[in-house]
């Protein structure tokens, strides 16, 4: 199994999911090989919940990274979960369309690019 998938699986134990019971972990690899992980953190006010991918991106950016190569996403159900629409847009803010996204299906891993998951993303250039 890919080390990045393993990192996404390992961080799921730290998820705070009292409402959904659905644990998600994400591992974001920088261009220089560092890995930042995140897990979902639910809040009774659902709109304040944090998604695993957002937490991983925030950790990496907080530590000065802006160049990323791969993202792995895994749920405790090994159901091939992909980043939600909100997370896809967050990723598009900090990652290129060719970011490789690995989605854990247990014995298999689905691979997408961010551009495939979010074609025509809203970008800074669109706001000019």
Output the pTM of the full model.
0.96
Q: For residue 126, name the pLDDT band (cuts at 50, 70, 90).
A: confident
For residue 52, which of 9, 6, 92 has the smallest C-alpha distance? Answer: 9
Could you report the per-residue pLDDT of 45-68, keeping only the tens digit for each? 999 999 999 999 999 999 999 999
Respond yes or no: is residue 53 known to be catalytic: yes
- Per-residue H/E/C for 35-54: EEEEECECCCCHHHCECHHH
Say whether pLDDT at 44 is over 80. Answer: yes
Catalytic residue among 53, 59, 105, 107: 53
Mutual angle of helices 85-94 and 52-62, in 10-degree steps = 20
Question: Which residues, 6+ apart, have CB-to-CB distance to 42 below 8 Å?
Answer: 16, 17, 18, 19, 20, 49
Burial state string for 48-67 with b = 16 or more CB within 10 A and e = fewer than 16 = ebebbbbbbbbebeeeebee
């Amino acid at each position: 199994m890919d080390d990045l998938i393993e990192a996404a699986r390992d961080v799921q134990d730290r998820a705070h999911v009292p409402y959904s019971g659905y644990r998600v972990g994400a591992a974001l690899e920088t261009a220089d090989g560092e890995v930042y992980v995140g897990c979902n953190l639910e809040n009774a006010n659902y709109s304040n919940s944090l998604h695993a991918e957002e937490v991983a991106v925030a950790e990496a950016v907080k530590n000065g990274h802006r160049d990323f190569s791969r993202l792995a996403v895994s749920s405790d159900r090994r159901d091939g979960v992909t980043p939600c629409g909100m997370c896809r847009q967050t990723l598009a803010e900090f990652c290129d369309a060719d970011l490789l996204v690995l989605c854990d299906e247990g014995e298999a891993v689905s691979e997408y690019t961010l551009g495939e998951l979010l074609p025509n993303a809203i970008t800074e250039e669109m706001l000019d």
